[in-house]
Amino acid sequence: MNLEQPVPLLVAGEWRLGQGERYDSLYPADGKPVASLNAASLDDVQAAIEHAQRVFESGVWSRRKPHERALVLYRVAERIRACAEHLAQLQRLDNGKPITETRALVASAAGTFQFFAAACETLEETITPSRGDYLSMSVYEPMGVVAAITPWNSPIASEAQKLAPALAAGNSIVLKPSEITPLLALELARLCEEAGVPRGVIAVLPGEGRTIGDAIVRHPLVRRVAFTGGTVAGRHIARVAADKMMSVSLELGGKSPTMVFADADLDHAVNGVLYGIFSSSGESCIAGSRLFVERSIYDDCLARLAAGAERLRIGDPADENTQMGPLITAAHRANVERYVAMGLEDGGRLRTGGARPDGAGDGFFYRPTIIEGLANDQRLCREEVFGPVLAALPFETESDLIAQANDSIYALAAGIWTRDFKRAWRVGRAVQAGTVWINTYKQFSVSTPFGGWRDSGLGREKGRLGILPYMEQKGMYWGTNEAPIPWAD
Ligand code: NAD
């Protein structure tokens, strides 16, 4: 990708400049432009979707045999691995994450393509128990044009999570990455083409959500939207989907509880809690942003957490020792600062952080912040901050803990730290969340379905069956009776 020139989009089988407004994509670590590009226009959306539909109907991808599609997806995984360092550095510039994190996301994207290649060529259609004179079967068909809409916080991994199963299923895909982080989606589409995905199967249309994203979602030819982002946008998309009778998956926000019991291995718990909230600068849907600590160890645990937070290395994302990079934009940091001020107004006490680090320059850095003294029903404990801000609360009993942990509109993830495996099982089953980590946090495997309950989303991504939401299921009956149906005799 040549960042010296305006970056082309992939529209209707052509790499060309978007027809929308020119804008700069900034490096969050210094606020300077990394790339310049034109956003997609509404005409680009129309052209891309119509073209994607024609390519779908041509059968050039949709009618390829599963093992042939799988071979291409294996090659995509290889191409990603071959360009891993380039992709990791590009993502660092696009998003400002530390390089160690972007390398891990690139590796995960390769793993996702490999996994869905295997899922594609091993997916079985079934012969169902017949209840009459016929052979009955259940088979799967690709849907047509599907849309993938992704946020800015984990580019390439989010895109791979949608692109790989959508391609495996034989669809055409219109991908709308966040306008803030457009580069990785474009680069991934280029690698897919190099690996053998036919031109025109994928379109990449960065642009504003409320205009370009909305036009994609509403387009009559789009038969499914796989969305990752905030709950407000997700709810809007669900309403449009209801009108169109369109399938959606929604991976949305969170306010995940982490629970530390008095018998926990505190070294593990402290590290896990810090990692759970402050890695990715807290810009993570599954950030463990509400911490409940059993009263008898609360003071000790908080002292260790505050000391640990103060030792975290914030700074240059290119430095392999950096643990926390900047936040994504100046506007987002201002929003995080508003949340911290609000927590303090509501009676919270700052345990550590609450400010920009010294020497942050023009980068959008913010210190890891711990606030205590709030109740679970106050705003900082209810709303998603999406930044490095931890609200810490003591708890007295297991039942009170579970009630508080579940008292949230969100239900995406939860963490439990205890040595008592029976309690871990009890609490793990009682807590309402799409993912529960026990004595660990923020570990991911493409083989394990992921998604949220309630306002955290609808549907699941990943897992061996993660290809199925991108396919329509069809029952087929083959008559075996020698005599006609006894109707017109
Ligand atoms: P966002 O909702 O503002 O935007 C996400 C994407 O949707 C972007 O591409 C945006 O342009 C687009 N969009 C926005 N409004 C739209 C609309 N009306 N119609 C169609 N598209 C629209 O979210 P964000 O600020 O980019 O990302 C942060 C949010 O994403 C947080 O709430 C976070 O929890 C959530 N998230 C969830 C997961 C998950 O897997 N559950 C993962 C990562 C991020």
Residues classed as catalytic: 251
Q: Which atom of ligand 1 is nearest to the CA of 253?
A: 34
pLDDT greater than 90 at residue 364 = yes
Average pLDDT score over residue span 384-392: 98
Q: Are residues 326 and 214 in the same domain?
A: no
Instruction: Note the pLDDT tens digit of each residue in 177-213.
Output: 999 999 999 999 999 999 999 999 999 999 999 999 9
Q: Are residues 280 and 392 in the same domain?
A: yes
Number of structural domains in the chain? 2
Q: What is the CATH number of the domain that holds 402?
A: 3.40.309.10
Let me know: does 381 contact 393? Beta carbons within 8 Å. yes
Is residue 422 domain-resident?
A: yes
Find how far residue 435's CA is from the centre of its chain.
14
| Rounded Cα distance, 109 and 96, in Å | 18
- Tokens standing for 219? 């387009």
Residue range of the domain that includes 401: 257-438
pLDDT at res. 1:
87
Is residue 484 domain-resident?
A: no
Q: What is the CATH number of the domain that holds 198?
A: 3.40.605.10
* Length of the chain as a residue count: 489
Candidates 235, 285, 460: which one to mutate for ligand 1, based on the most atoms within 8 Å of Cβ? 285
Write the DSSP assignment of 229-272 as a string of letters: S-HHHHHHHHHHHHHHT-EEEEE-----EEEE-TTS-HHHHHHH
| Rounded Cα distance, 449 and 436, in Å | 12
Q: Are residues 235 and 137 in the same domain?
A: yes
61: nearest Cα among 123, 144, 161, 138:
144
Q: Are residues 245 and 273 in the same domain?
A: no
| Rounded Cα distance, 263 and 294, in Å | 9
Is residue 100 domain-resident?
A: yes
| Rounded Cα distance, 230 and 210, in Å | 13
Give 39's DSSP letter. Answer: P
Instruction: Note the pLDDT tens digit of each residue in 66-78.
Output: 999 999 999 999 9
Within 10 A of 353 (CB to CB), how many other CB atoms are there?
Answer: 22
Q: For residue 410, what pLDDT band results from cuts at 50, 70 and 90?
A: very high
Candidates 386, 435, 461: which one to mutate for ligand 1, based on the most atoms within 8 Å of Cβ? 386
Q: Are residues 228 and 343 in the same domain?
A: no
Is residue 282 domain-resident?
A: yes
Name the residue at shortest CA distance from atom 39 of ligand 1. 251
Q: Are residues 172 and 227 in the same domain?
A: yes
Q: Ligand 1 center to residue 60 CA distance, Å? A: 32
Is residue 446 domain-resident?
A: no
Q: Are residues 290 and 230 in the same domain?
A: no
Q: For residue 55, what pLDDT band results from cuts at 50, 70 and 90?
A: very high
| Rounded Cα distance, 448 and 56, in Å | 30
Q: Ligand 1 center to residue 283 CA distance, Å? A: 12
pLDDT at res. 486:
87
Q: For residue 238, what pLDDT band results from cuts at 50, 70 and 90?
A: very high
Q: Which atom of ligand 1 is nearest to the CA of 154?
A: 43
Average pLDDT score over residue span 82-95: 97
pLDDT greater than 90 at residue 124 = yes
Q: Ligand 1 center to residue 480 CA distance, Å? A: 51
pLDDT at res. 489:
73
pLDDT greater than 90 at residue 110 = yes
Residues with CB under 6 A from ligand 1: 149-153, 176, 178-179, 209-210, 213-214, 217, 228-230, 233, 236-237, 251-254, 285, 384, 386, 412, 452, 457
Q: Ligand 1 center to residue 228 CA distance, Å? A: 5
Q: Are residues 298 and 206 in the same domain?
A: no
Q: What is the number of H-type helices and E-type strands within the chain? A: 14, 22
Average pLDDT score over residue span 458-462: 97
Angle at 412 between CA 303 and CA 299, to 5 degrees: 15
Q: Are residues 293 and 404 in the same domain?
A: yes
pLDDT greater than 90 at residue 488 = no
pLDDT greater than 90 at residue 360 = no
Instruction: Note the pLDDT tens digit of each residue in 11-45.
Output: 999 999 999 999 999 999 999 999 999 999 999 99
Let me know: does 311 contact 344? Beta carbons within 8 Å. no
Is residue 483 domain-resident?
A: no
Q: Which atom of ligand 1 is nearest to the CA of 207?
A: 11
Name the residue at shortest CA distance from atom 42 of ligand 1. 285
Q: Is this model's pTM higher than 0.95 or not?
A: yes
Is residue 451 domain-resident?
A: no
